[in-house]
Structure 1
C-alpha cells in the first residue's frame, strides 16, 4: 500500500473508516473467510478441517537471534502455558493447504472477454486527449507510473496499476483524475523536488503544482463514484473500483503534525467521502461479483483494498471494516492468502480476541508460512554481528512481492505470539514471557533488516513500523533503541511515514 500523501486540505475527502460501515450492509463480517466452502455465510463461524500439524512453520532456533535463514523463530510457547499440545487444536481446516493454489471457481481471468452488457463509452467531452498537452499532467501521469504504482502492485505479479491502469485511464477520466490527484499530493510534498521556482520533476518545472491540485482532481472523481450503481459497462465499473482504491491512498500516509489542527477543524468540516464504503459497496454489488472471476484488474484492486485495510487497522488499532468475502479467496496467490491471513489476525487482535479463533489462526498461519518459506526463501542472509556493532541482520529477497509477503507473515506471527490468550494469569511464568519478548524483538529487528536491505521497496519501511509501533516498548537495550531510532529517522528523511510517535518512543 516514499510518501506523505496527505495534506490537511484533502481531509475534506478523507475516509472515515468507522462510518458508515459499522452498521447495515457495510458492517464487518464476524466470521473468518472459508475458501473451501463458497456457500458458507459470513454469519456462520467457519471451521477448517485439516489434520493438525505438530511442526511449526518456522524451525526452532536455540536463541532469539536470527538464525541465518530469516524468518526463523522458535515456536510459540503457548503449549507449555496450558498443558496442551498441537493435537488439542480443533479439527479445523484451512483452505491454505500445501498444494498448488486452487483455480478460481469462475475460471482464469479473461480481461479480453467482451462485456455481456451494453457498452457505454464516456462522451468525447469527458475524455482527455492523448498525447497530453499539459506538461504538468504529463508529469503527474509519469510520476504515478514510475514512482507510485509499485505501492499498489506489491503483491501483483502482473503489475496492473503500472501496466494496465495508465492505459485504461486514457478512456476513463475518473481514473485519470485519481492518478493526477495521488501524484499531485505526493510530488508536491517531497522536499527533493522542491526549488525556489516550484516543483522540478524530470527536467520539467511545475511552478503551479500545489497540494491543492489533489483536492481539485479528487472533486472531479466524486460524481462517478457517487453514481457507480448506474454504470452498466463492465470496463467502466472495473475502472471505478480502481479509482476508489487509488483515491484511498491519499489518506494512507497522514501527517501527525496536522492532527491537532484537524481535530480543531473537524466540527466545521465538510461531509467526508468514505472511500472504503464506496470500495466495499462496489465490490459487493452483483455486477462486480460477476466480474471478479473474469477480469483481473478488479482482482488486483480488491487485494490492494485489503492491504489498505491492513494499514488502517495497524495504524489506528481497530479491526478491518471491509468484508472479506470467502468467494474472493478462491484461487488467490500465496502472497494474497498471507495478506488475507494478516487481515484476519488484525480482526482477531482488535475485535474477536477469542481463544478458538487464536487457535484457528495459529494453525492457519503455520500452513501459510510453510508454503511461503518454500517459495520465498531469501537468497542471502547474514545475522547481525553484535561484536562489530551490528543490530540488524542482512536479508535479501529478489522482489518486492517476496519482501511484502514475508514481512506480513512475520507481522501476523508476531501479533499472535505477543497477544497469546493462553499466556495470561498464573499459568504462565516470567521465563515464558521473557522468551516471547525475545522472539518478538528479533522479529522486529528482522523486519527492520529486511526494509533497510530493500531501499527500492519503501513500503517495507511501513511494515517495519507496524512492529515498532505495536511492540517497540519491548526494547530496553540502549544500542538496539538507538538503532531503531535510526530506522525511524530514515522514515522521516524519506517522508514515508508520520514518525512523531515513533520518535518519542525511541528518544
Structure 2
C-alpha cells in the first residue's frame, strides 16, 4: 500500500492566494457586508505556518472568539501553500477521488428560483479549490448509502444560489484541509462565521426552517464542529439544536417507505451524525427516529443499507437507554441483526474474502465489496452486533461465571472490530467505512490485551486522522492510557 503524497490532495507546485477581499461582495446581497479595512501586515507574519504556530488552539467563531479578528481585518494578498500530512507509520489511507455510482441519474438539472442571484462562476481560485475538494473528498461522507449522491450533486448545485449553503461547504472543506495539511485554519473560521450570519436568523423563522438548503447547511456545519473537537477539546454541540429543530419541524413531510429523495438524504445524514454522538457520549438518541423502513421485504441495496442504519439507532437506544436491562428487547434486536445478514440481497456478499491480509494470522481480514452500499450496510450491521454483544443483559455480573462470560464477550467483540478494520482497509475508496471502524476501536479497544493488536488499532486510527482530519487524536490517547502505555 503506497504512502500518501501531496499529489493526492493538491499538487505541491500549486499556490492559492487569499482573495477574500475581492470576493466578499459576492455575498453582500445575502446579508454579508464585509469587514472594514485593517492595517497592513507583512505576508510572513500572517502566513499559514505562522498562524498555526502562534495559535495552537482555534476557537469556535460561534462563541465570538478569535475568528472575529480575522473577519475584521483584510490581510495583504499572500501565497498560501499547503503540504501533505506526515507520513503514516503503518497504514496509508489516501483521500480517494469520488467514484460515480452507476445508478446515479445523469440527467439531473438544477433550476434556480426565479430572480435568484447566481454565485457561479467563483472569482476566487482558492474557493474553487475548496468546492472541488468538497465534491471529490468529502461529499461521500454524506452520500455513503445514497446512490443518487444528493450531497455531491444536488447540494452543490443549490449552493450556486444560496450563500448560506455555499459558506457551509467552503467552511467544512477548509476545516478538513487545515486538519490534514498546513492549510490556514482561519480560512474555515471565516466561512463558518459568514454562514452563521444568515443561518442563525433563519433558525427562528418558521417558514425558513423548513427549507432543505438550510437543513443541508446545518448538517454540513455539524460535521465541521465534530472536526473542531480535535482543536477546542470538547464538543460544543453547536448545531445539534438546529438540526433537531429543523428535522422536527419538517418531520411530518417525511415518508420513510418511498425511494430516496433530497429531503430523505438530508435526514439520513443528520440521523447518522446523531448516531455518532450517541455512541461517543454513550447516551440514548436525542433526535427523533423518523419512520424509516425497518421491514425485511424486497428493496434496492440503498434501502437495505439504511435499514441496518436505523437498526443501529435502535441498538444505541437500547444500550444507553432505559431498556438496557430488558432481555426481551435484547433478543428482539439480536434477531433483527441476524435477519438482516441472512435476508439481505446476495449483492452484499464480499467479492473477495481472506482471513487476514498477510497470511500471518495476526492481521485484519481482507474483505472487499462491489459497491459503497454493500460496504456501509455490512459495517453498520457489524457495529450493531458488537454493541449488542457487549451489552448483553443475560451476562452474570458477579462470581466466576462473570469472568468466563466476559472472556467470551471480549473475543466476539474483538472479532467484530477486526472485521470492521479489515473492511475499512480493503475498501479505501469508500472512506466513510473507516470511521465506523474507528468508533468501534474507541468503544471496545480496551478489550484488546496483546500489544500487537493495540498497535494495529492505534496505527489505523492515526492513519485515518492524517488522511481525513477525523476522528480526533484525544480518543486514542485515552485508549493508550487504558492499555497501560507510558505517556509520551
TM-score normalised by structure 2 residue count? 0.68
Question: Which secondary structure state, in structure 1, belongs to the residue aligned with residue 244 of structure 2?
Answer: helix
Question: Which secondary structure state, in structure 2, belongs to the residue aligned with residue 247 of structure 1?
Answer: helix
| Contact kept in structure 2, 1:380 and 1:396, CA below 8 Å | yes
Pick aligned residue for 1:184 from 159, 162, 174:
174
| Contact kept in structure 1, 2:146 and 2:265, CA below 8 Å | yes
Q: 129-138 vs 441-450, which deviates more?
A: 129-138
Write the distance in 2 (CA, Å) between the matches of 1:288 and 1:7: 39
Write the distance in 2 (CA, Å) between the matches of 1:496 and 1:11: 21
Write the distance in 2 (CA, Å) between the matches of 1:123 and 1:12: 34
Cα shift at 1:11: 5.6
> In structure 2, do the counterparts of structure 1 residues 454 and 431 end up closer, same or farther at CA, with 3 Å as the change threshold?
same
Q: Deviations over 1:188-233 (max 9, x none)?
A: 3321xx3xxxx4xxxxxxx89623223223223424632441249x
Match of 2:220 in 1: 246
Question: Which secondary structure state, in structure 2, belongs to the residue aligned with residue 131 of structure 1?
Answer: coil
Pick aligned residue for 1:279 from 243, 252, 255:
243
Q: 212-221 vs 361-370, which deviates more?
A: 212-221
The question of 1:349 aligning with 2:319 is answered yes
Match of 2:124 in 1: 134
Match of 2:290 in 1: 325
Q: 243-252 vs 304-313, which deviates more?
A: 243-252
Write the distance in 2 (CA, Å) between the matches of 1:295 and 1:339: 15
Q: Which runs of 5+ in 2 are unaligned?
A: 1-7, 10-56, 66-106
Cα shift at 1:435: 2.1
Match of 1:153 in 2: 143
Pick aligned residue for 1:457 from 430, 433, 438:
430
Q: Deviations over 1:410-457 (max 9, x none)?
A: 110111111100112469464443222211111111111111222223
Q: 287-296 vs 357-366, which deviates more?
A: 287-296
Q: Which runs of 5+ in 1 are unaligned?
A: 15-110, 200-206, 264-271
Pick aligned residue for 2:374 from 393, 402, 406:
402
Match of 1:340 in 2: 310
Question: Which secondary structure state, in structure 1, belongs to the residue aligned with residue 429 of structure 2?
Answer: coil
Pick aligned residue for 1:289 from 227, 234, 253:
253
Matches within 5 A, 1:381-400: 381-384=353-356, 388=360, 390-400=362-372
> In structure 2, do the counterparts of structure 1 residues 329 and 284 end up closer, same or farther at CA, with 3 Å as the change threshold?
farther
Question: Which secondary structure state, in structure 2, belongs to the residue aligned with residue 381 of structure 1?
Answer: strand
Question: Which secondary structure state, in structure 1, belongs to the residue aligned with residue 395 of structure 2?
Answer: coil
The question of 1:378 aligning with 2:350 is answered yes
Question: Which secondary structure state, in structure 2, belongs to the residue aligned with residue 162 of structure 1?
Answer: coil
| Contact kept in structure 1, 2:199 and 2:214, CA below 8 Å | no
| Contact kept in structure 1, 2:357 and 2:363, CA below 8 Å | yes
Q: 366-375 vs 307-316, which deviates more?
A: 366-375
Cα shift at 1:327: 6.0
Write the distance in 1 (CA, Å) between the matches of 2:415 and 2:126: 46
Write the distance in 2 (CA, Å) between the matches of 1:321 and 1:164: 28
Q: Deviations over 1:271-321 (max 9, x none)?
A: x78423322332333686168769810000011111101111112222221
| Contact kept in structure 2, 1:276 and 1:322, CA below 8 Å | no
| Contact kept in structure 2, 1:252 and 1:312, CA below 8 Å | no
| Contact kept in structure 2, 1:376 and 1:406, CA below 8 Å | yes
Question: Which secondary structure state, in structure 1, belongs to the residue aligned with residue 353 of structure 2?
Answer: strand
Write the distance in 1 (CA, Å) between the matches of 2:280 and 2:270: 15
Cα shift at 1:405: 1.4
Cα shift at 1:397: 1.4
> In structure 2, do the counterparts of structure 1 residues 161 and 13 end up closer, same or farther at CA, with 3 Å as the change threshold?
farther
Cα shift at 1:369: 2.1
Match of 1:367 in 2: 339
Write the distance in 2 (CA, Å) between the matches of 1:178 and 1:136: 15
| Contact kept in structure 2, 1:174 and 1:243, CA below 8 Å | yes
Match of 1:12 in 2: 63
Matches within 5 A, 1:207-246: 210-223=187-200, 225-231=202-208, 237-246=211-220
Match of 2:457 in 1: 484
| Contact kept in structure 1, 2:165 and 2:195, CA below 8 Å | no
Cα shift at 1:122: 7.7
> In structure 2, do the counterparts of structure 1 residues 208 and 306 end up closer, same or farther at CA, with 3 Å as the change threshold?
closer
> In structure 2, do the counterparts of structure 1 residues 361 and 245 end up closer, same or farther at CA, with 3 Å as the change threshold?
same
Q: 291-300 vs 484-493, which deviates more?
A: 291-300
Indicate the RMSD between aligned Cα atoms, in angstroms: 3.6
Q: Of the two structures, which has the highest relative contact order with CA contacts closer than 8 Å and spacing of 6 or more? A: 1
Cα shift at 1:171: 2.5
Question: Which secondary structure state, in structure 1, belongs to the residue aligned with residue 187 of structure 2?
Answer: coil
| Contact kept in structure 2, 1:181 and 1:217, CA below 8 Å | no
Question: Which secondary structure state, in structure 2, belongs to the residue aligned with residue 188 of structure 1?
Answer: helix
Write the distance in 2 (CA, Å) between the matches of 1:436 and 1:294: 38
Cα shift at 1:371: 2.8
Write the distance in 2 (CA, Å) between the matches of 1:209 and 1:355: 51
Q: 364-373 vs 442-451, which deviates more?
A: 364-373
TM-score normalised by structure 1 residue count? 0.66
